């Protein structure tokens, strides 16, 4: 991919003065490094990420939550209930197995097990909506520069959209048609994430969808 001494950016590695890509993706050459925008990746958890997960197990004092990472995430009672701990709490009343939740990663412990919290605005159990899954590397594209893409979609459709950095997106809107519209748009964005001029084309596509649904 590149020869010479240069800093290696994302998704690249160096071997004997040669820089190679570790993922299939698009190369970005900038003056101080070479990086690759991957076309498909797994999710690499980072502290502060908002993610969408599903409760898969309940242990003593903690929920185990599938968030699409190599190891499942945990969430303790103090991270889920904003009150002093009392023994009469029934954990399944707060979150049961199979419940979906929007949560934030507050810590990665030494085994890289993400620790979650649902205390905060916009976080908590999910009651209704659609969940769409896309490749986590394409989330930045869905959000757009300073949120241009996602704000445009919200403005055009009137749906509430919660984006999990792990590639799961929660959509809840005024009616089913609007929600399905967003699902179509997101799938289109995922397919065309590596092309340019996407925000404008998406806007046009949305307008077409609106026209046809009328």
Task: Give me the residues that bind another protein (CB under 8 A), please.
Answer: 1-2, 11, 13, 15, 20-31, 34, 36-42, 70-72, 111-112, 135, 137, 145, 194-198
* Nearer of residues 200 and 213 to another protein, judged by Cβ: 200
For residue 98, give every residue at least 6 positions away whose Cβ sits within 8 Å of its Cβ, in sequence order, or none. 54, 55
Beta pairing class for 7-8 and 33-38: parallel
- Give all strands of the β-sheet with 160-163 in edge-to-edge order: 130-133, 168-172, 160-163
Task: Closer to another protein by CB, 72 or 99: give it.
Answer: 72
- Residue 26 or residue 143: which is nearer to another protein going by CB? 26
Q: Kindly state the DSSP code that residue 14 receives in the 8-state scheme.
A: E
In the bound complex, what is the minimum distance in angstroms from residue 156's beta carbon to another protein?
20
Q: Are 11 and 38 spatial neighbours (Cβ–Cβ below 8 Å)?
A: yes
User: Among residues 11 and 165, whose Cβ is nearest to another protein?
Assistant: 11
């Amino acid at each position: 991919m590149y020869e010479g001494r240069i800093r290696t950016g994302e998704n690249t590695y160096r071997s004997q003065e040669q820089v190679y890509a570790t993922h299939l993706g698009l190369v970005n050459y900038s003056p101080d490094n070479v990086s690759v925008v991957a076309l498909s990746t797994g999710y690499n958890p980072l502290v502060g990420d908002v993610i969408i997960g599903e409760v898969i197990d309940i242990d003593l004092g903690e929920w185990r939550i599938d968030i699409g990472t190599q190891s499942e995430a945990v969430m303790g009672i103090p991270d889920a209930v904003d009150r002093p701990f009392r023994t009469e709490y029934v954990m399944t009343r707060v979150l049961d197995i199979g419940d979906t939740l929007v949560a934030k990663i507050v810590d990665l412990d030494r085994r890289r097990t993400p620790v979650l919290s649902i205390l905060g605005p916009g976080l908590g159990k999910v009651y209704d909506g659609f969940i769409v899954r896309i490749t986590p590397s394409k989330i930045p594209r869905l959000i757009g520069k300073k949120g241009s893409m996602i704000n445009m979609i919200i403005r055009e459709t009137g749906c509430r959209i919660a984006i999990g950095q792990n590639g799961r997106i929660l959509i809840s809107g005024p009616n089913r048609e609007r929600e399905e519209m967003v699902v179509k748009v997101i799938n289109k964005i995922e397919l065309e994430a590596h092309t340019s001029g996407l925000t404008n084309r998406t806007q046009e596509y949305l307008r077409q969808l609106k026209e046809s649904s009328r």
